[in-house]
């Protein structure tokens, strides 16, 4: 599968795209239904349509099937190779693996792609931020290799391989070269974890040598957190391991309005899952309060992956218009409107 975010040329759209749709739980079904409605409206204007294969995951799936990720979901993604996923609750503790981590490992979705960009019309103390986080998605401490050595002593194993590190570095540099991004920072803690993070850096350096047009730098993770808050504009693409990338993704989302504004894509050679990365917010579920922006922006990445650039542009322009006008926004961004009114406004703007 061609990487979804490396295209420039638009192709005639396929008539119908088969998408595995994972609404999730909490506010997931609400923001998913809203996103589907907006995509279908935009798609009709450009001659493309969607065949949604709806699959349960998370708490709702467990109630129905006794499994957090039913086999039907695996089979659907295996067939369609493209998924759109709302927020899913994973129980804390109790031995349950993260659903996000499980899907990433199962389908080798090795690159987590998180663009951090301001929305038009949304006020920020950091206007004009435009950086991208590329996070290795399959190993590190998130491999989940933990043992109880003895009562009161638990141990987690940090796994870094040359193969995975090289693969994600290659993705980042190829993206930079194709999209005229000027600079990549590898983020690490190799001053302490000399073997694991050292291997990640060594792999990135070898890839960087093949892309002399892209400036390559390295920052230690703790310094990076400070540098981002002081001056996020110094970063263009951040390349990093799984755990650091998870933390930095959330930190950087604050520059553009929080996790409710930020899209996410999990990319592999043969499958891609686009997802909202915020929580399932069960406290506001069913109250017409949820903001579907993060999932909609993730769906825009999905449309680009499907070569539906005209449809993606229509959705993005409508979203920009609604935020710029600022009269029909949800409460989390200072408005007074609900999910349905916001959705209707974006559709009207198309």
Task: Give the separation between CA 113 and CA 179, rounded to whole angstroms.
Answer: 14
How much is the mean pLDDT over the chain? 92
| 262 and 167 in a common domain | no
| 102 and 245 in a common domain | no
| 274 and 246 in a common domain | no
> How far from 238 is each of 45, 77, 102, CA to CA, in Å?
36, 29, 24
Task: Give the separation between CA 194 and CA 125, rounded to whole angstroms.
Answer: 36
| 90 and 179 in a common domain | no
Domain boundary among 199, 233, 255: 255
Domain boundary among 210, 229, 255: 255
| 184 and 99 in a common domain | no
Task: Give the separation between CA 293 and CA 154, rounded to whole angstroms.
Answer: 39
> What pLDDT is attached to residue 9?
47
pLDDT tens-place string over residues 103-139 = 988 999 999 999 999 998 888 899 999 999 999 999 9
> What pLDDT is attached to residue 90?
67
Query: Residue 212 sits in which domain range?
Result: 142-255
Q: Flag whether 7 is in a domain.
A: no
What confidence tier does 73 reach under pLDDT thresholds 50, 70, 90? very high
pLDDT tens-place string over residues 286-320 = 999 999 999 999 999 999 999 999 999 999 999 99
Residue 43 has pLDDT above 60, yes or no: yes
For residue 153, what is the domain's CATH number?
Answer: 3.40.50.2300
Task: Output the pTM of the full model.
Answer: 0.91
Task: Give the separation between CA 36 and CA 272, rounded to whole angstroms.
Answer: 18
How many domains does the chain contain in total? 2
Domain boundary among 227, 255, 283: 255
The tokens describing 261, both together, are 């504004």
Closest by CA position to 222, among listed 200, 244, 254: 244
Q: Flag whether 131 is in a domain.
A: no
pLDDT tens-place string over residues 252-283 = 999 999 999 999 999 999 999 999 988 888 89
> What pLDDT is attached to residue 59?
73
What percent of the chain shows pLDDT beyond 90? 81
């Amino acid at each position: 599968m061609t990487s979804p975010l490396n295209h420039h040329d638009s192709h005639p759209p396929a008539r119908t795209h088969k998408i595995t749709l994972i609404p999730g739980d909490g506010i997931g079904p609400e923001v998913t239904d809203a996103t589907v409605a907006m995509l279908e409206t935009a798609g009709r204007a450009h001659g493309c349509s969607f065949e949604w294969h709806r699959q349960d995951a998370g708490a709702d799936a467990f109630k129905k099937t006794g499994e957090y990720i039913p086999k039907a979901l695996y089979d659907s993604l295996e067939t369609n190779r493209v998924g759109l996923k709302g927020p899913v609750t994973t129980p804390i503790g109790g031995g349950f693996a993260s659903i996000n981590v499980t899907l990433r490992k199962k389908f080798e979705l090795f690159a987590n792609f998180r663009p951090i960009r301001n929305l038009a019309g949304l006020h920020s103390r950091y206007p004009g931020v435009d950086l991208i986080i590329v996070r290795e998605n399959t190993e590190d401490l998130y491999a989940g290799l933990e043992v109880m050595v003895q009562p009161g002593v638990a141990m987690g194993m940090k796994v870094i391989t040359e193969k995975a590190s090289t693969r994600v570095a290659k993705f980042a540099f190829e993206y930079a070269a194709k999209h005229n991004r000027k600079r990549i920072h590898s983020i690490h803690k190799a001053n302490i974890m000399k073997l694991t993070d050292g291997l990640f850096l060594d792999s990135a350096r070898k890839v960087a040598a093949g892309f002399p047009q892209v400036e390559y730098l390295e920052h230690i993770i703790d310094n990076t957190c400070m540098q981002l808050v002081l001056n996020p504009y110094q970063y263009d693409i951040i390349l990093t391991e799984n755990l650091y990338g998870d933390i930095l993704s959330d930190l950087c989302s604050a520059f553009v309005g929080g996790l409710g504004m930020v899209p996410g894509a999990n990319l592999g050679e043969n499958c891609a899952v686009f997802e909202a990365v915020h929580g399932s917010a069960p406290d506001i579920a069913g109250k017409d309060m949820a903001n579907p922006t993060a999932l909609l922006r993730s769906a825009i990445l999905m449309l680009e992956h499907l070569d539906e650039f005209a449809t993606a542009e229509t959705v993005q322009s409508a979203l920009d218009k609604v935020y710029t006008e600022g009269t029909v926004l949800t409460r989390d961004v200072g408005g007074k409107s609900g999910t349905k009114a916001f959705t209707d406004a974006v559709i009207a703007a198309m």
